[in-house]
Chains A and B, each alone.
Chain A
């Protein structure tokens, strides 16, 4: 019963917890001045979670993900297919970047490479100026992949547990994010009792809890129905505005890409190459009305045209 309420009515009444806008009180234990910001000026929650500051800095020093001339070839000899062709892309701190392109253009492959699950055939990927990515980048797959035997809270701390953080500390940290995500009261619920949207939120908290230097979202809302999906986009927007972890989102949804992102990267069909990078000038926090403005539609039109051109390129090649 309670789940359903929150799934429909509760969602639309969702508000950012006010206390998160106030400067955080330093912890009684380590009450030194400036203790709650890290080296990059990002706010720290009492338990050490990194949160983005409000200033926008896109300088060289603030590079989160650096993709340098990455190409990927699957198979060998005559069977070889090129999935990615010399992709260069930089994601800065506190930046939300979307990758959009026709299916099979290698977006997911690129995400796998950034996550460290696959290695590029050519080029390299740096995350926080290091090529060690496994365990340092938070990855959220399309399926929620929650473990049915763990409660929502225990699912979310999986990443911390693997890093050797003891369960009690991990749970306390995740609790903070449950509050931020408006999931308070659902910590002890098993995934089978949660709706699709709720499961996806728990999966998102699990991703945040990995405390990676950057976050990769692989079509996180693709399996949800249109209404839940719209709710989830609004929700993600609000939560992300609070945390501002550098994010790379793969999506098929042009509106989703524009509305959520600071930049939209358009890919060509296989082999995936960057066709165009578009800046989205809207200020944050963004509102749903922005989707109806001339400016928004102009960007949408441009992306649609680029995607159209991309497929023309494909037919020419064939």
Chain B
């Protein structure tokens, strides 16, 4: 009974935003047609849908390439980020040395760095992956460090009385307890990552949604630009949803406790 009720609730919760978006699309369509706006300035929603269908194979290939860059970057960030977070938690020295460097890394404007990366590493995969790592690393490390530090002092004391060493405290208590935090970091990272990859491509690439947007814009195919934006949004939402799914499978106790 309870489950049916909650399902009911979530559909009604979705209903309002869907209605709102549909209304906005209708207004948009009517305005473009009635005012006779040039399709290269603002294409109508129907024109965008047509472009989506017309360029479907191009869009799919480029999306997969962008997805690949995002995925590689994210995986590197998660693995290296988790290790770094553990090091920061264990060692005061690493904490004091690397934490400020991490913060500074976030102040570098990507607009300035991305072209340099293309200059150094060419038009291939590497510069995009680097951009993705640079934008996703920070939220993941910070969340994980917070997670490791949030462990109850009393719990650490209890483990100490049980004769646990530092490594045991880490593996038995701190790491599992920090997983929900890690996933919060990954969720932020996922959306940043997709944007990062597209920006990396925009500056110079052979393939990807970013370069697709660039070329479409240069040839005044505004409808195709919008189509690519739609796909980008779907990609981000899809990755976010996937992260949620993995989180629920991997740390069921957390989902149960918060729901």
**A192 contacts B253, C-beta separation under 8 Å:** yes
**A141-B154, A143-B154 in contact; A210/B162 too (CB < 8 A)?**
yes
**What CA separation (Å) do A141 and B163 show in the bound complex?**
15
Please name all residues of chain B whose beta carbon is closer than 8 Å to the beta carbon of A22 when the two chains form the complex.
none
Please name all residues of chain B whose beta carbon is closer than 8 Å to the beta carbon of A115 when the two chains form the complex.
161
Q: Mark B150-175, 1 if CB is under 8 A from A, else 0.
A: 00101101111111100010001100
CB distance from A127 to the nearest CB of B (A): 11
**What CA separation (Å) do A112 and B160 show in the bound complex?**
11
Q: Mark A135-163, 1 if CB is under 8 A from B, else 0.
A: 11111010101011100000000110111
**What CA separation (Å) do A134 and B163 show in the bound complex?**
5
**B168 contacts A162, C-beta separation under 8 Å:** yes
Q: How many residues of A contact B (CB 8 A)?
A: 24
Please name all residues of chain B whose beta carbon is closer than 8 Å to the beta carbon of A278 when the two chains form the complex.
none
B152 nearest in chain A by CB position: A145
**What CA separation (Å) do A53 and B157 show in the bound complex?**
32
Q: Mark A269-280, 1 if CB is under 8 A from B, else 0.
A: 000000000000
B160 nearest in chain A by CB position: A117
Please name all residues of chain B whose beta carbon is closer than 8 Å to the beta carbon of A67 when the two chains form the complex.
none
Instruction: Indicate if A190 sits at the interface (CB-CB under 8 A).
Output: yes
**A149 contacts B176, C-beta separation under 8 Å:** yes
Please name all residues of chain A whose beta carbon is closer than 8 Å to the beta carbon of B154 when the two chains form the complex.
141, 143, 145
**A116 contacts B173, C-beta separation under 8 Å:** no
Please name all residues of chain B whose beta carbon is closer than 8 Å to the beta carbon of A136 when the two chains form the complex.
163
Q: Mark A110-127, 1 if CB is under 8 A from B, else 0.
A: 001001110000000000
**B161 contacts A135, C-beta separation under 8 Å:** yes
Please name all residues of chain A whose beta carbon is closer than 8 Å to the beta carbon of B168 when the two chains form the complex.
162
CB distance from B159 to the nearest CB of A (A): 7
Instruction: Indicate if B256 sits at the interface (CB-CB under 8 A).
Output: yes
**A190 contacts B176, C-beta separation under 8 Å:** no
Please name all residues of chain B whose beta carbon is closer than 8 Å to the beta carbon of A117 when the two chains form the complex.
157, 160-161
Please name all residues of chain B whose beta carbon is closer than 8 Å to the beta carbon of A163 when the two chains form the complex.
162-163
**B163 contacts A145, C-beta separation under 8 Å:** no
CB distance from B183 to the nearest CB of A (A): 14
CB distance from A200 to the nearest CB of B (A): 14
**What CA separation (Å) do A134 and B160 show in the bound complex?**
7
CB distance from B70 to the nearest CB of A (A): 29
Please name all residues of chain B whose beta carbon is closer than 8 Å to the beta carbon of A210 when the two chains form the complex.
161-162
**B176 contacts A147, C-beta separation under 8 Å:** yes
B256 nearest in chain A by CB position: A192
**What CA separation (Å) do A136 and B173 show in the bound complex?**
20
**A139-B158, A162-B168, A190-B256 in contact; A149/B251 too (CB < 8 A)?**
yes
**B257 contacts A162, C-beta separation under 8 Å:** no
Considering the complex of A and B, which 8 residue pairs feature the smallest CB-CB distances, nearest first?
Answer: A135-B163, A139-B161, A148-B253, A159-B162, A115-B161, A149-B253, A162-B164, A145-B155
Chain B residues engaging chain A, CB cutoff 8 angstroms: 152, 154-155, 157-164, 168, 172-173, 176-177, 251, 253-254, 256-257
